[in-house]
Amino acid sequence: MKIIERLKVVAQEGNIDGFYMLIREDVKLLGHMDELPFVDTPLHIAASVGHIPFAMEMMRLKPSFAKKSNPDGFSPIHLALQNGHIELVHRLVQVDRDLVRVKGRKGITPLHYAAALATDDQLDLLAGFLSACPNSIEDFNIQNETALHIALKSDKLEAFKLLVGWLVRNTSTKAMLRENAMYFERMSYMNRRHDEECNTVLHRKVLNWKDMEGNTVLHIAVSKNQTEVVRHLLACGGENANVHIKNLEGKTAWDILQEQTQVDNSEIKDMLRDAKPLM
């Protein structure tokens, strides 16, 4: 059996001692694999079957494996997620928080995956990803969808509310800390003002991000007649949720609502009518 095939076997078994016996035969074994653009590394294999100690040993020796795609377009953390090895996912993120932003096939990140499949008892994973890597909220896939788009289109309403709520709390908490910290009392007014504006821009950017069809999450919520989602979005998003944005068909959320004649959307109409325009 060739050494590569034997390496796959020890990875599937989680056999660390067996791995080092192979390294004695070829000390550049992992280096050769790392040169390939797409490859099932021992870390990919261990992540697929859930061997935590073996995966952690690979992360220690070759952390670059964690961001490499296999021939199917998936990184180790994607494979761990797909196979339900959540504790291994946590351990990978513990070693490298930026793995939450690794894009796999079709530009899907672990945060996107969690948003699409999150059940009520798996929301902790979604929250954990956001806590570990806050900037992952900005990432989008090849269809230009953020995690908010994905959760809403997948009818994961609790996941969507968690994402919006986190976005609001994150920017609000930063503003509060800046206001109360002694350090910022010594900063110039202009610097404080700039920092606050940056958080507002992030909030607005994510809430009003357009998918490949030009739809914001408000467009989607209205088109799906999701009254609760529209209420939550407008309540939490406030004036940052722009009700006047047009999609690629030139339609605002209100235009989409007006086209719905077969459903009772009177409550959403009232909410959009009362919504303030984005300044």
70 — pLDDT class (breaks 50, 70, 90): very high
Domain assignment of residue 215, given as a range: 107-173+200-278
For residue 206, pLDDT beyond 80: yes
For residue 160, pLDDT beyond 60: yes
- Which CATH number characterizes residue 237's domain? 1.25.40.20
Residues 90 and 214 both lie in one domain = no
pLDDT at 182: 40
Is 9 part of any domain?
A: yes
Domain boundary pick from 72, 95, 118: 95
260 — pLDDT class (breaks 50, 70, 90): confident
Residues 49 and 91 both lie in one domain = yes
Q: What is the pLDDT of residues 71-107, one digit of tens each?
A: 999 999 999 999 999 999 999 999 999 999 999 999 9
Q: Which amino acid is present at 3?
A: I
Sign of the torsion formed by the C-alpha atoms of 43, 44, 46 and 50: positive
d(CA 215, CA 220): 7
Residues 136 and 87 both lie in one domain = no
Model's pTM, two decimal places?
0.86
Is 185 part of any domain?
A: no
SS3 for 25-57, per residue? Answer: HCCCHHHHHHCCCECCCHHHHHHHHCCHHHHHH
For residue 173, pLDDT beyond 90: no
pLDDT at 202: 64
* CB distance 100 to 111 below 8 Å: yes
Is 84 part of any domain?
A: yes
Residues 91 and 7 both lie in one domain = yes
Residues 76 and 32 both lie in one domain = yes
